[in-house]
Amino acid sequence: MENFTAYNPVKLRLGKDIVHELGKSVQKIGKKVLLIYGGGSVKKNGSYDDVMGQLKSIGAEVYEYTGIQSNPLITDVDKAAELGREKNVDLLLALGGGSVLDTAKVTALTIPVDHSGWKFISGEAVAKKGIPIISVLTLAATGSEMNMFAVVQNPETKEKKSVWSPHCFPKESFMDPKYTLTVPKNYTGYGITDLVAHSLEAYFGKGGSSLADRFVYSIIAEAQEYGPQLMNDPDNYDLRAKIMLAATYALNGTTIIGKAVGDWGVHAIGHVLSVLYDVPHGASLSIVYPAWLKFQMHKLEDRISELGENLFNEPDAEKSIAMLESFFESVESPVRLQDLNIGEDKRQEIIEHLVRNKATGNVHKLKDEDYEAIVDLMYAAR
């Protein structure tokens, strides 16, 4: 076991109509609210009306910043921060999925400073404070509602990178599974893929922790048992709740106890695909993970075998990777670049961007010359 710190001060509130408690929580922090959301989905699923009702009931002053995209942009962060600064807001209310939350997190860091939020991502600046954040989640996927990570994209430099800061922890996150009932089938599947990928990044991290491993198996088992059920029964509240809870626990620190750090190489590669071809985050991961595992086989065969035995009752490493692919397919997530109509003419472009972005991962580090083989595996015939 590695020395480690576990710290997560987010107050998570999950359940039906839990947003009825939102007003009280906002009131404790302040009156001036910058509400950040994407587009029409929060109006369709009822969350916008519920949130506005709560904010009105406490007489809050609400400013809105909208139009956050599925792969969130630093340009939106900087514009939202400008608005927040101008209006001197007391808190940010993130209403949406991970992209909205991550935008809010970096905005929270950026409001108190006089430079672009990108400096926190690039490492040129370290946040010393942040505006408080409350989130109302409408998508089960990233786990951003209960952690201090944020990932945003720089359209100018074509980079998608992460920042982490204790000032990024939301104070409270409200999660009503009913808001996820209207999530389209493809994004439902990508969310399930995402939570499995997060668990695996921890699993292939640095340090051995038998309890963390068991927690990983537990979370992925939820996805295996209830993910395909949900794809066939998307209006089922209880299945939505199970997947929502599993997604939160896949990236709130539970899977990394007793370990030093996750690998995150697969995510780094996935981010490159998202930036280049606007691939949804979860969809990129179901393509990259099998390729990464096959490439790492010579180093990680025993570990992959352990995973296969615990998830699929299949100790053969190669077969267990195939079973992981089948699982991703069972939630309608792509497993090859061709599935997203990204043809082999893009091969060289992808490799170049992987090299340029240093998509190495933290533990089982990839070298520049490794990307060619990994990209080929993402195109390989099935």
Rounded distance between C-alpha atoms, residue 152 and residue 102, angstroms: 7
Rounded distance between C-alpha atoms, residue 293 and residue 311, angstroms: 15
Q: Work out whether 5 is an interface residue with a copy of itself (CB under 8 A).
A: yes
Of 237-245, 261-269, 299-307, 366-374, the window that binds a copy of itself (rule: CB under 8 A) is: 237-245
Instruction: Work out how close the CB of 216 gets to a copy of itself at its nearest, in angstroms, rounded to a whole number.
Output: 9
Q: Which is nearer to a copy of itself, 226 or 371 (CB)?
A: 226
Site residues (CB under 8 A) for a copy of itself, limited to 12-51: 12-16, 18
Q: Which is nearer to a copy of itself, 28 or 299 (CB)?
A: 28
Yes or no: say if 194 and 164 are a contact pair by the CB < 8 Å rule: no
Q: Work out whether 313 is an interface residue with a copy of itself (CB under 8 A).
A: no
* Residue from the set 56, 214, 356, 365 that interacts with a copy of itself by CB under 8 A: 214
Q: What burial class does residue 372 get, using C-beta atoms within 10 Å of its C-beta: 0-12 exposed, 13-18 middle, 19+ buried?
A: middle
Of 1-9, 39-47, 148-156, 335-343, the window that binds a copy of itself (rule: CB under 8 A) is: 1-9
Q: What burial class does residue 174 get, using C-beta atoms within 10 Å of its C-beta: 0-12 exposed, 13-18 middle, 19+ buried?
A: buried
Rounded distance between C-alpha atoms, residue 81 and residue 83, angstroms: 5
* Residue from the set 249, 292, 295, 328 that interacts with a copy of itself by CB under 8 A: 249
Q: Give strand pairing partners of 159.
A: 154
Q: Which is nearer to a copy of itself, 222 or 325 (CB)?
A: 222
Q: Give strand pairing partners of 163.
A: 150
In the three-class reduction of DSSP (H, G, I as helix; E, B as strand; rest coil), residue 39 is classed as coil
Q: Give strand pairing partners of 162.
A: 151
Q: Which is nearer to a copy of itself, 76 or 213 (CB)?
A: 213
Other CB atoms within a 10 A radius of the CB of residue 100 amount to 29
Q: Which is nearer to a copy of itself, 245 or 351 (CB)?
A: 245
Pick the closest to residue 74 from 39, 95, 37, 105 (CA basis).
Answer: 105
Of 52-60, 239-247, 281-289, 359-367, the window that binds a copy of itself (rule: CB under 8 A) is: 239-247
Q: Work out whether 128 is an interface residue with a copy of itself (CB under 8 A).
A: no
The residues that touch a copy of itself, with contacts defined as CB under 8 A, are 1-16, 18, 209-211, 214-215, 217-219, 221-222, 225-226, 238, 241-242, 245-246, 249, 254, 257-258
